[in-house]
Structure 1
Amino acid sequence: MAQKNTKRSKPDHYSERARKQGYFARSVYKLEEINNKFGLLKRSGRYLDMGAAPGSWSQYLVRTLQPDLKLVSVDIQEMKYQGPGNLHTVLLGDMYDHAIQQQLSSLGPFDALLSDAAPNTMGNRTVDTLASAGMAEHLIFLARSLVVPGGSLVIKIFQGGEEQNLLRMIREEYTTAKLFKPKACRKESFESFLVGVGRK
């Protein structure tokens, strides 16, 4: 569910670093920075990576927390990354699909729901931000039944007016709610991340 943009072909510092460290995408450093700031990831945890392809966030989770984690990754696209079978389960399907949601219910609950997913973009910022907000709201809804009390939530959002409404929703359900843009986000990008810590 990664956003595609053919104009972004020139490697940068984060792309080169990801290549050298064997990660599938530069987006791994967004999660690393979020974790360093908010302290979300704990050993012996259960984690859900939504919109996970190609798999750099899942790679980071396994590298950082193995052997003491259980990870479920979901995407409609094939994952390039597959962790050890005893630690990592990959579900190929749509997060809106009821069958996928049922499988997640049986595999959970989770200590955190993490998502770098983005909708297919149209090139119209108004349309794209509304689609992103709709996806974020859906993930907040899913977290109500999938994330344990005290757990966390990280969701990518395209900034464009709806993020404050979504933050209000998160504040009602989490002790801490923040809008955070990691340095690893491209300067020209209007993406940011909704972070909820301490589910009530």
Structure 2
Amino acid sequence: MSYTVRDHYFHKAKKEHYLARAVYKLQEIQDRYKILKPGNRVLDLGAAPGSWMQFAREIVGPSGLVVGVDLKGVEHRFPEGVVVLQGDVTDPELARSLSVEHGPFDVVLSDMAPSTSGIRVADSARSALLFESALEMARSALRPGGHFVAKLFQGAEFHVLLQAVKRDFEWVKVTKPDASRKQSKEIYVIGMRLRKS
């Protein structure tokens, strides 16, 4: 089930030349929690169509690096300092190569979402699997003290996954940005300061 929400955020994104309305979710998280800083190395999982990469690049600037990974290709031409890779974030080989070639990262972002079926239990279970993959990638690709932001559909797995993030990060917050649709079950889990292993 896929559709385009042509609301205030959709029109604002078009006006401000962002690739998707989802940028305002990350912008709100950034405004509240300051997870991105100039010079950071950022890994964006589920990066298509690319609005989070656009925004992250604005914050990290020319001395930073933004690496986006998605199963789909990303058509947009980004400025220098942005690397786009097509790949499956559940592939352990991808995690290894990302860490070697571009890491360690200061921030791992994930706006990954499954193709929804309309069956909430199934959709939240698939979202949980993607969230687990993002968390695993963060564990292997983040430097100690790094930050993690990931989307998760609320469901039966929520509390178990939240506890996993709390074990790995010193400070954890759950938020639903204003740019999320009211009827959406998505929330964002923010983990700050990855503990040393």
* Residues in 1 aligned to 2:107 and 2:60: alpha-carbon distance in whole angstroms: 13
**Runs (5+) with no aligned partner, structure 1:** none
> Does the CA contact (< 8 Å) of 2:95 and 2:140 recur in 1?
no
Amino acid of the residue matched to residue 135 of structure 2?
Answer: I
**Runs (5+) with no aligned partner, structure 2:** none
* Residues in 1 aligned to 2:75 and 2:154: alpha-carbon distance in whole angstroms: 28
- Summarize deviations over 1:58-97 as a string: whole Å, max 9, x none: 0111123321211110001111333223x11111111112
User: Of 156, 159, 166, which aligns to 2:154?
Assistant: 159
Structure 1 residue ranges, 4+ long, deviating more than 3 angstroms after superposition: none
Secondary structure, counterpart of 1:182 in structure 2: coil
- Summarize deviations over 1:127-181 as a string: whole Å, max 9, x none: 0101101111121112111111111000100111222211111111111111110
> Does the CA contact (< 8 Å) of 1:174 and 1:199 recur in 2?
yes
* Residues in 1 aligned to 2:88 and 2:133: alpha-carbon distance in whole angstroms: 12
Give the structure 2 partner of residue 173 of structure 1: 168
Give the structure 2 partner of residue 100 of structure 1: 94
Residue 125 of structure 2 corresponds to residue 130 of structure 1: yes
Secondary structure, counterpart of 1:17 in structure 2: helix
Amino acid of the residue matched to residue 103 of structure 1?
Answer: S
Give the structure 2 partner of residue 194 of structure 1: 189
Residue 2 of structure 2 corresponds to residue 5 of structure 1: yes
Amino acid of the residue matched to residue 96 of structure 2?
Answer: Q
* Residues in 1 aligned to 2:174 and 2:157: alpha-carbon distance in whole angstroms: 12
* Residues in 1 aligned to 2:88 and 2:7: alpha-carbon distance in whole angstroms: 31
Give the structure 1 partner of residue 138 of structure 2: 143
Alignment of 1:21-36 (within 5 A): 21-36=16-31
Alignment of 1:64-79 (within 5 A): 64-79=59-74
- TM-score w.r.t. structure 1 length? 0.92
* Residues in 2 aligned to 1:82 and 1:192: alpha-carbon distance in whole angstroms: 29
Amino acid of the residue matched to residue 17 of structure 1?
Answer: K
Secondary structure, counterpart of 1:133 in structure 2: helix
Query: How many residue pairs end up in the alignment?
Result: 194
Alignment of 1:83-94 (within 5 A): 83-85=78-80, 87-94=81-88
Secondary structure, counterpart of 1:195 in structure 2: strand
Amino acid of the residue matched to residue 47 of structure 1?
Answer: V
Report the identity percentage.
40
CA RMSD in angstroms comes to 1.3
> Does the CA contact (< 8 Å) of 2:89 and 2:137 recur in 1?
no
- Summarize deviations over 1:6-65 as a string: whole Å, max 9, x none: 3x44x1111110000000100000000011111101111100000000000001111233
